[in-house]
Amino acid sequence: MQAIHDQNLSSAEVVLLARAMLSVATIDGIHPSEAALIGQFYESSRSADMPPTASVLVKAEAQPFQPAEAAGCNAEFADTLVLMCLMTAHADGHFTVAERACVQAIATATGMATARFDALLADVRDQLVGALAHLPDSGSVANVLGELNAVS
């Protein structure tokens, strides 16, 4: 999986990413881990001329992100957009059918093929399982893996 920070994102792309991530997080109520991921991404990516995180979040609530806003983006940015949305959806430990549908709609709006979406989803799941693999309780890791595979 390509590192997100390898890209030189414009201010508009950073705001778009944050708004898209927030749209995924709000589906089942924003969990603190989702808010932390979105805030951390935005703060680490924003330049001095960009609005503060709080104002972007307020604006996103007032003007919710629409998948069509991602139409016409290049393939590299589409990958980043979908990856960040998938990471947000998984951040609270529950990847719901509604979250998947939302991220799939974003991917479709970018023109992303279903096979590419599935590959990115598998990458995110592999990263999550890899992060847990060092735990001594293999039964818990197997349960998490089962939950990850439950929404396909």
Q: Please give the average per-residue pLDDT across 115-133, as a whole number.
A: 81
What domains lie within the chain, and their CATH numbers?
8-150 (1.10.3680)
Nearest to 55 by CA among 22, 89, 91: 22
pLDDT of residue 143: 55
H helix intervals, 48-113: 53-62, 75-91, 97-110
Residue 1 has a pLDDT of 41
| CA 115-118-126 angle, 5° bins | 140
pLDDT band at 35 (very low <50, low <70, confident <90, very high): confident
User: How far is 95 from 72, CA to CA, in rounded Å?
Assistant: 27
Flag whether pLDDT at 31 surpasses 80. yes
Q: Is residue 131 over pLDDT 50? A: yes
